[in-house]
Amino acid sequence: MSNFSYSQYIEGESIYGLITNYHVASCNRSWKQTNLDIFGRTHVRLHPVLPNNINAIAQFFKVEPVYLLNHATGYPLYAFSLSNQASKLKKVLLSAKGQLIASYSRQAPSSLPLAKQHRYCAKCIEESFETFGTLAWRIEHQLYGVSHCPEHGEPLLYLSSGEGGINRHYCLPEGGEPILLEQNEKAVRLSIFVTKLYHLLQEGNKSRSVIDLYTDWLMIKGFLTKCGHIRMRFLADELFNYWKELFEATEELIPLELSNFNYVADIIHERRPVHYLKHVLLMAFLAKSPQDFFALSKVPKPAPELLKQQDSALESNVLKLLDDGSSLREISASLGVSVGYVKQLALRNNYEIDRRRWKLTDEIERDVWRKAFVGCHRADIAKHHGISVGTVEQLIQSHKGLSDWRHHMVMAKRRAKNRAALLQAIGTNPQITRNEFKRSFSCYMWLYKNDREWLYQNLPAPQAKKYYPSVDWAARDKFLAIKVKCLPAESKSLSELDRALGGHGWLLHDAKKLPETMKEAAKILENSMGRKIVKD
């Protein structure tokens, strides 16, 4: 085990892990006391990925703020996706203005809320303890999209944070629950790719524009037309098939809204900043690794004159086949173009096109309303009648009060389900406390948001408040006694001895609470006085 100080930052450790190890070593019983030591105030909550107060933390642990920002937080990934707006997020993370993190990191527009979990790998913890003698929370395990350890390939364990979890407490990585119980190769692939991209961005080596790289990769893979337009439907289908295993996981690893991939156009055309996970889903589909993605050389583009000649020849072939009486689908299959392209070209050249218009009958409309009234899903109704989901929705909205009634039925089913789950949980665990119930059962939060009055009437009675001192003086006494005993230099006075321990004033003002430490201090002072008398 190498020499290690609990006030020393370990490479790859998160901000939360750094302060947790200091909290354990200082023997502070309360997180409030640790926050007072570092921040000068009690109520500070550190996010696993994007913590603020970096300047104060760097000053306390004597580390460069920018180094901590780039190596102990997820800032490099967010800066990559925010582009020109990253400087605003950087200022917020360095300062104490934590309320601005969500807006400047653009979590709400991305529909990807900041994760409320602290994650760790059991094998990494063992290695950290053998090497440094401490249990380290690693920053790469906290990144959004990382569900498996990139080094060992095993599912990460997690402790819930925020309200109902460890909240503002500083806890060691132990006693967590696994994120995913079943093997999922795409989840492992995503975890490794996010981690490699994070380390690559820390180095800051980007030779080309990211948008140019995306364009070249899409062109190589055949997802761009000759005019530079994205074959969006084809690309979305291929992306979904590639990540299908990830979205079908037993536990939700990432939001299902990402499975429609409608944000790809926003990335390619730079319409707005998007979350880095959306970049990763596209990037990992196109390239084997981030290094391969950024190493792509520039792809030469054909001359515009050549493209015009090719388009002109294609149009001539389409028009010739239309004159011969071929159908749109036959032309599409023979020339390898879409039916829509053939149809638009025919209409521009005044060709008559057969339209297969279809009209809803009164009987079908009544049946759609009946099925909607009893709560049938819109997709099931559309499939039964062979119509689109949009048509079903239009019919539902055209019937006054039907949409509100369907919403009422859904909420009634969910209310009954969550009430039954809560009563069953209380019956199974009669000694459970309210905080334990909040952390362990999802039905609590649903009822809290939608049926709060009933929830409070059926929860277990609240426990009486207990007083816990802010400092565990017995543990601090043992810790300081060992430090006093191992001090290399002699001390002539109690004040000098206290300064050697950090100048906290504990030996001067709290001597009665530190009996073991004072015994060791007395021995040192007696030895020092004895040496002085002998010299005299």
Q: Which band of pLDDT confidence, cut at 50, 70 and 90, is reported for residue 441?
A: confident
Q: Which band of pLDDT confidence, cut at 50, 70 and 90, is reported for residue 105?
A: confident
DSSP symbol at 157: E
Q: Which band of pLDDT confidence, cut at 50, 70 and 90, is reported for residue 534?
A: very low
Q: Which two tokens stand for residue 327?
A: 């159908």
Is the model more confident about 185 or about 101? Answer: 185
Write down the pLDDT at residue 536: 45
| CA–CA dist 319, 495 (Å, integer) | 99
Residue 33 dihedral angles phi and psi, to the nearest 5°: -65, -40
- Distance spanning both ends of the chain, measured CA to CA: 44
Q: CB count, 10 Å around CB of 344?
A: 11
Domain ranges of the chain: 15-186, 204-294, 304-348, 362-399, 405-458, 473-535
Q: Which band of pLDDT confidence, cut at 50, 70 and 90, is reported for residue 144?
A: confident
For residue 286, pLDDT over 90 is answered with: yes
Q: What's the whole-number average pLDDT of the chain?
A: 83
For residue 535, pLDDT over 60 is answered with: no
Rounded average pLDDT over 463-484: 80
Q: pLDDT (tens digit, 9 = 90+) per residue, 339-383?
A: 878 887 887 787 877 755 566 788 888 899 999 999 899 899 988
Write down the pLDDT at residue 522: 87
For residue 314, pLDDT over 60 is answered with: yes
CB burial string 373-402: b at 16+ within 10 A, e below:
eeeeebeebbeebebeeebbeebbeeeeee
pTM: 0.60
Q: Which residues pair with 118 in a beta bridge?
A: 159
**Could you give the dihedral angle defined by the CA atoms of residues 392, 394, 400 and 401, in that order, rounded to the nearest 10 degrees?**
60
Q: Which residues pair with 230 in a beta bridge?
A: 224
- What is the torsional sign of CA 522, 526, 528, 532? positive
Rounded average pLDDT over 289-314: 70
For residue 504, pLDDT over 90 is answered with: no
Pure H helices in 169-209: 185-203
Rounded average pLDDT over 188-193: 93
Burial class of residue 366, CB neighbours in 10 A (0-12, 13-18, 19+): exposed
